[in-house]
Amino acid sequence: MQGNKFAPITGTVMPRYSGLATLMRLPYLGLADPALAEVDIGLIGVPWDGGTTNRPGARHGPRQVRDISTMVRNVNRASGINPFELCNCADLGDTPVNPVDLIDSLDRICAFYTKVCKVGIAPLSVGGDHLVTLPIMRALAKDKPVGMVHFDAHTDTWDRYFGNNPYTHGTPFRRAIEEGLLDPKRTVQIGIRGALYNDSENDWGEQQGIRVIDIDEFHAMGLPAVIAEARRVVGDGPTYVSFDVDALDPVYAPGTGTPEIGGLTTLEAQHLIRGLRGLNLVGGDLVEVSPPFDPSGNTALVGATLLFEILCVLAESVRHRERC
Q: Is 246 annotated as a binding residue?
A: yes
Q: Is 156 annotated as a binding residue?
A: yes
Cα gap 69→47, rounded to integer Å: 16
pLDDT band for 108, please (50, 70, 90 cuts).
Answer: very high
Q: Average pLDDT of 282-309?
A: 97
Cα gap 172→166, rounded to integer Å: 9
User: H or E segment at 23?
Assistant: none
For residue 173, the SS3 value is helix
pLDDT at position 20 over 50: yes
Task: Indicate the average pLDDT of the chain.
Answer: 95
The confidence score (pLDDT) of residue 2 equals 40
CATH of domain 23-322: 3.40.800.10
Query: For the chain, what are the domain ranges?
Result: 23-322
Q: Is 152 annotated as a binding residue?
A: yes
Q: Is 154 annotated as a binding residue?
A: yes
